[in-house]
Amino acid sequence: MIDIEKCRITHYPDAVLAKRAQPVEKIDDNIRQLVEKMTDIMLKNKGIGLAAPQAGVPLRLFIISLDATSQNVRAYINPTVTPTSDEFDSVEEGCLSVPGIYTKIRRYKKCKVAATDLNGNEFTEEADGLYARCLQHESDHIDGITIADRMPSTAKIAHRKQLKRLTENYEKNKESKN
Ligand SMILES: [Zn+2]
């Protein structure tokens, strides 16, 4: 049982963002409440995607709304994202869990997603452009990977101050909770 009240945005280098998330066993009211809470967090922070570990929950589930509106929020439960092209592009990305950092990330141009929706129906879709990028970004999250891991070492150097600040804030928050 997930305590929805306790769900909040998690920031790099929180441990929940670094581990492989577990499959959703059953789509029940608790999962539906989690999706609602994740939608609140995502829209409040003007994001276009959010994965469950970013709300502190290590489950294989993410939401996307490419125009950041509530009516276009979709849930992807136990998703599998597979590249459908050998071509890559490198576009600047941000992440609500790695605030203050925008950096070019290399991703496949096209991919497909197979997932289950909130009603328990399986679906598959082809994606390109921003949608393909967003799917790969969120899929990374449920495998314990953030843009802080994906960015090339030159970008790590360029963003070292902000990465250090995030690490310090995380340590500080951890201490104050103990
Ligand atoms: Zn992210």
**Looking at residue 152, which CATH number applies to its domain?**
3.90.45.10
- Could you tell me the distance, in angstroms and rounded to a whole number, from the CA of residue 175 to the centre of ligand 1? 25
- Could you tell me the distance, in angstroms and rounded to a whole number, from the CA of residue 83 to the centre of ligand 1? 19
| Mean pLDDT for all residues in the chain | 96
Number of domains forming the structure of the chain? 1
Active-site amino acid positions: 138
What is the distance of C-alpha 119 from the center of its chain?
21
- At 61-118, the pLDDT tens digits run 999 999 999 999 999 999 999 999 999 999 999 999 999 999 999 999 999 999 999 9
Q: Which secondary structure element, helix H or strand E, spans residue 147, and what is its range?
A: helix 147-150
Whether the predicted pLDDT of 174 surpasses 90: no
Whether the predicted pLDDT of 17 surpasses 80: yes
- Could you tell me the distance, in angstroms and rounded to a whole number, from the CA of residue 158 to the centre of ligand 1? 19
- Could you tell me the distance, in angstroms and rounded to a whole number, from the CA of residue 54 to the centre of ligand 1? 8
Whether the predicted pLDDT of 14 surpasses 90: yes
- Domain holding 49, by residue range, is 4-177
The amino acid at 171? E
**pTM for this predicted structure:** 0.97
pLDDT of residue 178: 61
Instruction: Give the angle 17-21-22 at the CA atoms, nearest 5°.
Output: 160
- Could you tell me the distance, in angstroms and rounded to a whole number, from the CA of residue 49 to the centre of ligand 1? 7
Q: Name the percent of the chain lying above pLDDT 90.
A: 97
- At 20-45, the pLDDT tens digits run 999 999 999 999 999 999 999 999 99
